[in-house]
Amino acid sequence: MMKHRTHDVAMTEVFQEDPAYALELLNSVLADGDQAELLVVLRQLAKAFGGVQAIADRAHLNPTQIYRTLSADGNPALSSFRAILDAMGMRLAVEPKSLSVAAN
């Protein structure tokens, strides 16, 4: 009998098994600029990194604040977004769209 898993559970497992894919997906979502999709991926990543409580402890944020920030209606402040990423061992960075931009 096949075990049924939710999409979030499956993605959490993928992120745990392949952290490089998690980074690639997060960067792709950031490039697209879809905030709702970004919050979904961040919620899945939070689960992969030990859950909201663990992220809150490492980010020195209140778990309730993280739940609100990552909710479907969330609108994370840059400081919260950076703290959450830092708690996951990641950072926000800016890179040029093309080499010609970097040369100017």
Whole-number Cα distances in Å, 17 to 12, 14, 24, 43: 9, 5, 14, 17
**Which has the closest alpha carbon to 69: 58, 8, 93, 79?**
79
* Angular region, 98: left φ>0, alpha ψ -120 to 50, beta rest: beta
CB atoms within 10 A of CB 88: 23
Question: What whole-number distance in Å separates Cα of residue 95 and Cα of residue 98?
Answer: 9
pLDDT in tens, the chain (104 residues): 556 778 878 888 888 888 889 889 999 999 998 899 999 999 999 999 999 999 999 999 999 999 999 999 999 899 999 999 999 999 988 888 876 655 55
